[in-house]
Amino acid sequence: MTIDKSSLEGLFTAIVTPFDADGAVDYPALQALVGRQIAAGASGIVPIGGTGEYPTLTRGERAGIVSACVEAAGGKPVLPGVLATGYGDALEAGRDFTAAGAAGLMLVTPFYAVGPQEGMRAYFARYREAIDVPLMAYEIPRRTNAALTAETYAGMAEDGSIIGMKYSSYDMPTFLAVLREVGDKLAVLSGEEPLFATHVAAGATGGVLASASLFPTFWLEVFRKARSGDLRGALEMQYRVDAALAAIYRETNPGPLKQIMKMAGHDMGGVRLPLTEPSAETMAMLSAVLPDLPLETELA
């Protein structure tokens, strides 16, 4: 499958990784989850990012997850996250995922050893040259302490190293600057549910959203409203899930998300260390918002 920036439009679900009672990857549950997303209208699947617990998985598990997702996605693109800290490890992972059928990769900005802007640009350029597969940059400064400027993204577009980006930040001025500089050259996708409608109305081509693991149809409708110019209507929809999002992201993702999915009838198992199960307070909040969730049956 060949993808380009025009392929990155609509909803790309950042899925959780299901585990069974013994803590192993639950592949039947994983493929069922992917199938539900595609049936709901998702444009593609983004497995094993932060929501998919990339750091807790072995190299073999990651490749197996990508292969299972490709099989279940029915021809829709699978763009796994590559969250490695170093170039060599990232390249090995990318090659594993490409061999497993990934249409592209979501490559996180380098972290821990954080380089200057020119170093970040060169990192993506060298990676793209080595792996020869479409890349989406993943910017999430609150986790990586690395934020790229609009000018750097313009340089990356000029290099041809990426076709798009997932923007996970509340920095709206920078987001708008990125759209101004590269909105016609790269697909800019929102990674923030509370800002999703606003991002789309401003020019984002879609989103990579974790809570879509539970209610994808809802986010697709928000996307359609915002894309059509009805920002007020899209925001009014989003207000319905403000309390749910506050509960889901009260503790490190995806612990609370997996728990509310279980409450809703989709058991994805627990999380792996160093993550732990949500606190009693968070569990109470999740239980409280469950009756008001926009699940698929409520949108029919």
Q: Provide the annotated binding site.
A: 51, 208
**CA nearest to 187, candidates 217, 165, 211:** 165
Q: Do the Cβ atoms of 275 and 251 come closer than 8 Å?
A: no
Catalytic residue among 138, 153, 167, 249: 138
- Both tokens of 137, joined, read 């940059």
Annotated binding site for pyruvate: 51, 208
Catalytic residue among 166, 167, 225, 249: 166
Whether 76 sits among the annotated catalytic residues: the reply is no
Whether 262 sits among the annotated catalytic residues: the reply is no
List the catalytic residues.
138, 166
